[in-house]
């Protein structure tokens, strides 16, 4: 949960006021003028919007594994990165150690840019099934994108987005965006999916 101070609450309320009266279409009245039942109704729709906006941010903002990432991602902790050999980890995982401050995007790109022998590498090549030199990335889907990273203590997994299949996946399962309600400011926020 977020930690609030009097100053951060005042700043949040100012931003919420601007959002409601200037950004929302049609413009809405200030939050404090809403009746309680109007707040409840608005918060229900705001929750869905938070989830949709965060999902869009992750999937649109993800980088395609077939191209070197333009941005770095400096990892906040040391740990072990789990790199699936195929979509949904069906063929197992490679594991790579990383240190606090390393660029995870660079580590992931370099790992999946390596060539493999298609005759011995397990799984399905989604890009080309025969006759060319295969790369590890081709076994993760037609056009895998790194949407985000999820940390569970020292374990790091990649949240993948496959736009052609419209499939969000992580490890051996799927990921989704959840929201959490903050009672202090009475507003929905995307849930932090990492635990350090």
| Residues 143-174 pLDDT 10s | 999 999 999 999 999 999 999 999 999 999 99
Let me know: does 194 contact 150? Beta carbons within 8 Å. Answer: yes
Q: Rounded distance, CA 64 to CA 146, Å?
A: 7
Q: Residue 71 class from Cβ within 10 Å (0-12 exposed, 13-18 middle, 19+ buried)?
A: exposed
Cis preceding-peptide flag for 26 (omega within 30 of 0):
yes
pLDDT at 122: 87
Distances (CA, A) of 109 to 21, 78, 106, 147: 43, 18, 5, 13
* pLDDT, mean of residues 134-149: 95
Q: Rounded distance, CA 58 to CA 170, Å?
A: 13
pLDDT at 165: 93
CA atoms within 13 A on the CB side of 111: 20
Q: Taking Cα atoms as reference points, which of 161, 191, 196, 184 lies closest to residue 58?
A: 161
Q: Rounded distance, CA 118 to CA 109, Å?
A: 19
* Predicted confidence (pLDDT) at residue 111 exceeds the cutoff of 80: yes
Let me know: does 112 contact 135? Beta carbons within 8 Å. Answer: yes
Tell me which of 26-40, 117-131, 147-161 is least confident. 117-131
Neighbour count for residue 42 (Cβ, 10 Å): 15
């Amino acid at each position: 949960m977020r930690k609030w101070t009097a100053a951060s609450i005042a700043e949040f309320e100012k931003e919420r006021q601007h959002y409601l009266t200037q950004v929302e279409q049609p413009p809405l009245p200030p939050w404090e003028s809403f009746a309680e039942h109007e707040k409840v109704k608005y918060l229900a729709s705001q929750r869905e919007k938070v989830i949709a906006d965060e999902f869009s941010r992750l999937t649109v903002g993800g980088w395609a594994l077939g191209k070197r990432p333009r941005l770095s991602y400096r990892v906040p902790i040391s740990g072990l990165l789990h790199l699936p050999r195929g979509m949904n980890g069906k063929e197992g995982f490679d594991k790579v150690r990383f240190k606090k401050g390393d660029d995870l995007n660079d580590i992931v790109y370099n790992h999946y840019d390596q060539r493999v022998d298609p005759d011995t590498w397990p799984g399905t090549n989604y890009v080309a099934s025969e006759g060319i030199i295969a790369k590890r990335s081709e076994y993760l889907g037609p056009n895998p994108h790194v949407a985000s990273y999820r940390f569970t203590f020292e374990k790091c997994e990649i949240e993948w987005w496959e736009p052609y299949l419209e499939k969000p996946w992580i490890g051996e399962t799927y990921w989704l965006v959840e929201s959490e309600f903050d009672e202090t400011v009475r507003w929905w926020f995307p849930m932090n999916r990492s635990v350090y």
